[in-house]
Structure 1
Amino acid sequence: MNAVRWWQRAAGLLMVLFLLTVGWKMRAFIWTAVQNAVVRSWYPVWGTNLRDIPDSEEGKRHRLAGWKKQTQGEADPSYYKYLEEQEVRQEYMDFLAQFSGSRLVDGTLLGKWNGLVHGSGRQGGGETDEERLYSAGKNGEKTERANPAALVDSPRLRKKLEDYDYLIQHFFTIHPTASIDRSLMNAETFLSMDLTIRKDEADGPQILIYHTHSQENYRDYAGSDGKGAVVSLGEELAKRLRAKGYQVWHDTTAYDMKSGHLDRSRAYTYACEGVTNLLQKYPSIQVILDVHRDGVSEQTHLVTQIEGKPTAQIMFFNGTSETPDGPIEYLANPCRKENLAFSFQMKWNADQIYPGFTRTIYLKGLRYNLHLRPRSALIEVGAQTNTYEEAVNAMDPLAQLLDQVLTG
């Protein structure tokens, strides 16, 4: 009898230990279930401990209802951010409803907006849900008929751009070694700056395309004639810009090669000399584009879909000639403001008509030959993990963005 009782006690103890172990392993699941049960049953009279409410649709509805009743205490900052995003979304939806049926907004756009509201994600250098509020103007093949700026030109969104921190967070990435004058970063100034040129008044090349790093390649294509795939890509961009009526000079010089060997240590110095000579030869050049290919981790694939085609994402790159210690005096950059506006206007348009196409504008401390002309841009097209086809597919939307800014 005593032996039986001993085994019963031992078995009971083992069962308790087993349940405690399982409970500890499943504590997150159990806690979520308890939270859901409490929210469904008791939240209306429970209070406003917003931090503990699960991030479900039902939880959000309860939070929205309870927020207005809250008269004291501090809500979770992330919840205020959520409410702010909801307010922006609602304003945008009201705007779309106002123009429903017009040529600016059709069912396709509304469908894309519905997808934005109900789904989110982040891929590579892509954008968050809130950032894509500026991307909802994508209108398929009708982009040339629509006015992209009108789709997001609401007082609420413009007001947010006045906030320096918001502007930097959503449109720029600043390298730790770089700095930028706070007064220079003004979205309204960037958007209002006239960067147009006249196609019909050119007496020589208007646009120069070159490659500081001419040996950069893509996953499945390494170029030809001793030059990397990025040089072939530059010619694809030149063809598209010529088709739009621009006179383009494509410089295929290998500035990163010296005596038959790869030498990137002085590539920007060699490129500066070469481009300066071209500007002296062709003073009609008003736009300079240094086309590159980025380098990322092998797990990163910078790609999006544009008109059904897999398309490499692009990134505009600007040099600030300034570090956290102050301006770099020997790297004067008189064109910094205009070139920041050039990049910003293209990204602004891209976020509306080609959502997901552009990554945030990257700022680094040196000047990267962007001081030679206003309307200069260093453009990273995809990375080594992209295919050449994906990079070529990026040339159509890039040419369109350039044309929109240059024609106003």
Structure 2
Amino acid sequence: MGKMLKVTRKRKRKERGVRWIVRGTGFLVLFFTALIAVFAIHNTNLWNRLQYQICYQMLKQYAPLLASGSAVQSLYIEEDDTTMYDMQSESQLSYEQILAKKDPQETQAADASEENKDISVDQTGSGNTQTGENGNPSVETASASASAGENLVSLEKLNDFDYLIQHYYTVDKSTTINSSQLVVQNLLNKNCTIQKTTEDVPQILIYHTHGSEGYADSVEGDPNTSVIAVGNRLTQILQDTYGYHVLHDTGIYDTDRDHAYNVAAPAIQKILQDHPSIEVVIDLHRDGVADTTRLATNINGVDMAQVMFFNGLSKTTATGDIDYLRNPYIEDNLAMSLKMQLAATELYPGFTRKIYLKSYRYNMHLCPKSLLIEVGAQTNTLQEAVNAMDPLAQVLDKVLSGK
């Protein structure tokens, strides 16, 4: 009995020692973090990272289950030369987002909720606040009966920044844009055309960062009923009707949705390296909205999903430009989406939603002529999404041919 008591006391002393080591390590981390913060107070990005580390260490100390695993830690990995595609970092991560392990790269643009309605837009020469167009809790069906026709907007109106923002853009609260960055004449002067060729080499790449996204009647795990099927239809029309050479990448990159952009980036870069003839890259998505929202329109008697063009600005409201998410092609990307929006407005009014601007870059740095397109949402049927590819292909041809 005495021997057993001695062993028990020894074990308890050992356990107490381990606990003190763990606690001591935690306090040392907090101490040195605070010490570094004194020298980093003028560096906003570093200060935000330190805030996260303090929060994470507190979680480890008092709620180890919440802080376990690599998922939480991976939210704050920055890009550098060795981690080229770790793009899941937030410039300022809220405590709630840490706990929810929320993916900051997800779009979910139309379901931005009521809190995103009042959007502060940094406007040079204007003190107005613009309001973004978002989903409403009530049943919302965006419908328009349209046929091909002339619906041209004057350049004078487009040069009015207030008019441009109100009628053509939704600016997510996570980012800002001003009149010096969104100069219509500069964007319209960008050459977005490509020359059709008889050579059997791809000119357009279509892929899906979130290839598992489906529609109301999709079968889970079946690419023939997912957004990939929509890409198949767009590929077919662009090739058979308009004479472009298209490469459709049907790779699935979102088995771990939180890191889909990370996984897709090197694969797409490899495709571009292997096929230098590719001039246009299209990332085709399906948006996520409230279940009461339907993004539908009717063109020439055909029901179809609305589409939305999307741009990442590599810039946050809180910290400004995100240096570690550089995109040298932001203006080229903006030119592509604006020209597509104007062409769609001219040919099929009501077919497109407003261009959505958000803070990160979404792999649009891989090609100047990049488009990220949301085709409907989970409340649309697959057929409605497929039907939308006919007018989308015509709009794309109008821009690429310069007609």
Give the TM-score category using the shorter length: 0.5 to 0.7
1:124 CA displacement: 4.9
TM norm structure 2: 0.62
- Deviation >4 Å, runs of 4+: 122-127, 223-228
Matched, 1:164 2:161: yes
Q: Which SS does the other structure have where 1:215 is aligned?
A: coil
Alpha carbons 2:225, 2:382 under 8 Å: kept: no
Higher percent of residues as helix = 1
Aligned to 1:407: 401
Counterpart-to-counterpart distance in 2, 1:125 and 1:360: 15
Matched residue type, 1:343: S
Map residues 180-329 of structure 1 onto 2, 5 A cutoff: 180-200=177-197, 202=199, 204-222=201-219, 225=222, 229-243=226-240, 244-257=242-255, 263-324=256-317, 325-329=319-323
1:307 CA displacement: 1.0
Matched, 1:359 2:342: no
1:152 CA displacement: 2.5
> Kindly tell me: are residues 171 and 159 of structure 1, through their superposed partners in 2, closer, same or farther at Cα, counting changes over 3 Å?
same
Structure 1 unpaired stretches of 5+ = 1-121, 258-262
Aligned to 2:174: 177
Counterpart-to-counterpart distance in 2, 1:317 and 1:386: 19
Alpha carbons 1:213, 1:256 under 8 Å: kept: yes
Q: Which SS does the other structure have where 2:391 is aligned?
A: helix
Percent identity (aligned): 49
1:193 CA displacement: 2.2
Q: Which SS does the other structure have where 1:382 is aligned?
A: strand
> Could you report, residue by residue, the CA deviation over 1:284-308 in whole angstroms, capped at 9, with x for unpaired residues?
1100000000011111110000110
1:179 CA displacement: 1.9
1:203 CA displacement: 5.5
Q: Which SS does the other structure have where 2:257 is aligned?
A: coil
Map residues 5-404 of structure 1 onto 2, 5 A cutoff: 124=140, 140=147, 143=148, 148=150, 151-152=151-152, 157-200=154-197, 202=199, 204-222=201-219, 225=222, 229-243=226-240, 244-257=242-255, 263-324=256-317, 325-404=319-398
Aligned to 1:7: none
Q: Which SS does the other structure have where 2:324 is aligned?
A: coil
Counterpart-to-counterpart distance in 1, 2:141 and 2:337: 16
Aligned residues: 263
Matched residue type, 1:210: Y
Structure 2 unpaired stretches of 5+ = 1-137
Counterpart-to-counterpart distance in 1, 2:220 and 2:291: 20
TM norm structure 1: 0.61
Matched residue type, 2:299: I
